[in-house]
Amino acid sequence: MAETLVVNEVYVSLQGESTFAGLPCVFVRLTGCPLRCSYCDTGYAFTEGRRWLREEVAAEIERLARPYAGCLPGGDASAGERGGDGVATPVAPSIGGPRLPLVELTGGEPLAQPAVLPLMRGLCDAGYTVLLETSGALDIAAVDPRVHRIMDLKCPSSGESGRNRWENLAHLQRTDEVKFVIGTVEDYEWAREVVGRHRLERVCPVLFSWAAPLTPAQRVPSLKAVPPGQTPLGRRELAERILADALPVRFQLQMHKLIWPPDQRGV
């Protein structure tokens, strides 16, 4: 079954996080994840989905990307050479930035499905700017180096910090990003110490992302509980602590949750 993937949803929206925030993006949300972080807002992707051929996923990405072709002088929506996986190269890049739309593989945990590796390679061959959202619990070494890997390091309040694969740090490059989802004072202090110990800002961009509270619809029973003794940290306090400690990190909120209801799917 290596040529298929179990897919939860494929849609186009604005990228809500990372250094690419605000840009049009085709999201491919894959089904399944070995972690159960306390703040996970996509628990529906743990089990919901259907099996797609890898070529079907690539074709749907191409269909959703088509309106962005022909945006520049001389552009032709039907143009573009096809890569080895049969994906048409999108025509119109963003001036001074990445080719649009971006394509992000997310989940769930995309790396739990082996067929995601050749899918990402084929999308890179076709000229897409490809992002991977990954938990940091699985090996990132086999991911095509052209992919922008946005890798979590799980903080204490996640309930999954023991799953961090520290060996992944040796594989990071400048085009990658490391994300800490922070919901408590203990998370912040832990993340600050990790950034300093590994000098992560010298490796790649570092993101401190505030953990937005879950709505009742987002909370699934299998999520881990926040460990006892943790002190909640608000978004303003997180921002003020970053400034007070002069940390070389990027504060971020989930932009899509400010535009649409926080539990709306497909955005």
Measure the CA–CA gap between 105 and 6, rounded to whole angstroms.
12
Mean pLDDT for the stretch of residues 77-83: 41
Say whether pLDDT at 145 is over 90. yes
Give me the chain's average pLDDT, please: 91
Mean pLDDT for the stretch of residues 172-200: 98
The residues, ordered by sequence, that sit 6+ positions from 5 with a Cβ below 8 Å of its Cβ are 30, 51, 52, 54, 57, 113, 115, 116, 119
Q: How confident is the model at residue 98 (pLDDT cuts 50, 70, 90)?
A: confident
pLDDT at residue 97 in the model: 79
Going from N- to C-terminal start, the domains of the chain cover 4-259
pLDDT at residue 94 in the model: 53
C-alpha dihedral, 203 to 194 to 120 to 6, nearest 10°: 180
For 240-264, the pLDDT digits (tens) are 999 999 999 999 999 998 999 888 9
Q: Fill in the amino acid letter for 148.
A: H
Mean pLDDT for the stretch of residues 18-42: 97
Query: Does domain 4-259 sit in CATH 2.60.40.10?
Result: no
Q: Within a 13 Å sphere around the CA of 267, how many CA atoms are in the beta-carbon half?
A: 13
Going by DSSP bridges, is the β-strand pair 177-182/148-152 parallel, antiparallel, or unpaired?
parallel
Burial class (CB in 10 A: 0-12, 13-18, 19+), 161: middle
Query: What's the pTM value of the predicted model, to 2 decimals?
Result: 0.91
Point out the least confidently predicted range of 77-86, 197-206, 247-256.
77-86
Say whether pLDDT at 79 is over 60. no
Mean pLDDT for the stretch of residues 9-16: 97
For 179-192, the pLDDT digits (tens) are 999 999 999 999 99
pLDDT at residue 2 in the model: 62
pLDDT at residue 171 in the model: 98
pLDDT at residue 73 in the model: 38
